[in-house]
Structure 1
Amino acid sequence: MASITVSMSLTSVPFTKTLPRTSLASIKPIEKFLASSLMGTRTSTLKTSRPWTIGLRSVSSGITCSTSSSSPLPSALLFDCDGVLVDTEKDGHRISFNETFKERELGVTWDVDLYGELLKIGGGKERMTAYFNKTGWPEKAPKSEEERKDFIASLHKRKTELFMALIEKKLLPLRPGVAKLIDQALAKGVKVAVCSTSNEKAVSAIVSFLLGPERAEKIDIFAGDVVPRKKPDPAIYILAASTLGVDPSSCVVVEDSAIGLAAAKAAGMKCIITKSGYTADEDFLNADAVFDFIGDPPEERFDLGFCGRLLEKQYVS
């Protein structure tokens, strides 16, 4: 008798429950049974002579997806930095931008809501340029386009210095589950990289100071101006796959934003969203899975095994 699994995807998180053969016909509708299974066991088997797969998209909460020894492993696990490794934007980058503007006496302040809108533009230099183009350049800014590029670069350099000081003081913690997932990947020989539009020095500081030097030496970093076009362009993820020597289709990306999701999918990769403070309401319809965070036990949302199973396309979302 064939043994298959009836699964329910809670934001693409599998739930399965054992059913006696005689009870299959009595489930009308099947969704009623699945709903009642939410607090039950996570993995078991339904014996039947025909396949039966059901996928429902919802919101995950307090659910653990355990590693399966039979699951494939990604060739590479690629993380965005800001909002994924650390929720840096509101109380990290935004504060550092504002301190820079204040030091230079530009008369500019980015409040929480405004910065949320500006985050739709990938890259800090690009963000400032777009803002000044729209609202008008400060009086202290140069007039020529070439000089303005240097002006923006100098602002961004100082902003990065201020941001790195926050990271070095460990005032911004890692998000739950980040270290766990990276450790699982490294232990299994899965390549790990961070792919970010942020300045390379800032990303390196986060990886080194918050993940520690032992992990940092095993993690590749692709950041800042390493590619000419920022997310949502897929260039940084394509570069990462090429440099690491892996097929994009065997990579799993962890992102927090719609522009990051667009970049990952355009590169031909699976993408898991872990929502951050600024991105909770963005459209993640094309994501392979959506969670509020990665999580550590007992509040783990997913692990390396779940990342591997995404490659098998077992889950309907």
Structure 2
Amino acid sequence: MPALVFDCDGVLADTERYGHLPAFNQTFQEFGLPVRWSDSDYAEKVKVGGGKERMKTLLTPDFIAAVGLPSDPEALDEQVARWHRRKTEIYTGIIAGGQIPPRPGVRRIAAEADAADWTLAVASTSAEPSVRSVLTHAMGPGLAARFSVFAGDIVPRKKPAPDIYDYAVDQLGLDPADAVVIEDSRNGLLSALGAGLGCAVTTSAYTGLEDFTGAWLVVSSLGDPPPEAVTTEVLSDPFGSRPRPFVRLADLESLRAAAGAK
């Protein structure tokens, strides 16, 4: 059975700039940390997989001493975990407020896949409560219930390691040749490719200039028909699929067939 596997942040909604970044900064403020990430700062931080891992980039010896953090590694991990739990609460509140719209085409193409009896899943190394909140917001409760969710710390290594996709393939009993992944970043693409999965990319706020060599297709978004009428801009199309004016499930199926025949 074919499977359509979405990343979460940047794919289901453009959550990094408008959700995660303000949630990190509010967390830093609440904990009295002398840190506020700018948009350009965060453009670098998103290259680090995982929220706790991004927070840990702060933990230089000088920062630990200046803020009065514990030097014991276990106690320091516990402190970062407290920051991250609060950050997740703030972030899920932002999502619940409905301020960040789903990205074009994600609900439409997931509904097409569900109607065609494709397996639906999300594979993300963000915290599971965050992923589920975005999934429900983007898909609606009914369609979201059709998804398997693989998220958070269920694997030892974050993207670009293939662990989360290896885990999803194993749990779903998939043949990797039957899966199509939708990602938005180079780290996500490398993770999918490392697990032997084909991947289409929809670029997002921080990823438009990244190297997507190996992707089956790179587009500005999946697009939507009227009344939304969001047209897909094709950025790379090595298999000549030419999705116009938006990406359909049939386009993803043709990519899967073309890659299999290669």
CA distance in 2, matches of 1:135, 1:80: 35
Secondary structure, aligned partner of 1:116: helix
Q: Given the superposition, is the C-alpha separation of residues 134 and 84 from structure 1 closer, same or farther in structure 2, using an over 3 Å criterion?
A: farther
**1:1-40 map, 5 Å:** none
CA distance in 2, matches of 1:135, 1:273: 39
**What is aligned with 2:257?**
312
Q: Equivalent of 2:197, from 259, 265, 269? A: 269
Map 1:85-96 onto structure 2 (within 5 A): 85-96=12-23
Matches within 5 A, 1:1-317: 75-133=2-60, 136-137=63-64, 139-297=67-225, 298=229, 299=231, 300-313=245-258
Check whether the contact 2:102–2:138 (CA below 8 A) recurs between aligned residues. yes
- Residues in 2 aligned to 1:252 and 1:304: alpha-carbon distance in whole angstroms: 10
Distance 1:210 1:281 in 2: 25
CA RMSD of aligned residues (A): 1.7
How far has the Cα of 1:135 moved from its partner? Answer: 6.7
Note if contact 1:106-1:140 (Cα within 8 Å) is conserved in structure 2. no
- Does the CA contact (< 8 Å) of 1:291 and 1:301 recur in 2? no
Q: 1:231 to 1:159 in 2, by over 3 A?
A: same
- Report 1 or 2 for greater relative contact order, CA contacts < 8 Å, sequence distance ≥ 6: 1
Unaligned runs of 5+ in 1: 1-73
Displacement after TM superposition at 1:142 (Å): 1.6
**Larger helix fraction of residues:** 2
CA positional deviation for 1:210: 3.3
- Pick the structure with greater CA Rg: 1
Q: Is the 8 A contact 1:75 1:251 kept in 2?
A: yes
8 Å Cα contact 1:179-1:211 kept in structure 2: yes
Q: Alpha-carbon deviation of 1:314?
A: 6.3
The runs of 5 or more residues in structure 2 that have no matched partner are 232-244
| Inter-partner Cα distance in structure 1 for 2:25 and 2:183 | 25
TM-score normalised over the length of structure 1: 0.74
Equivalent residues of 1:170, 1:210 under 8 A apart: no
3-state DSSP of counterpart to 1:132: coil
Q: Give the TM-score taking structure 2 as reference length.
A: 0.89
% same residue: 42
Deviation at 1:91, TM superposition (A): 1.4
Aligned length: 243
The answer to whether the 8 A contact 2:223-2:247 is kept is yes
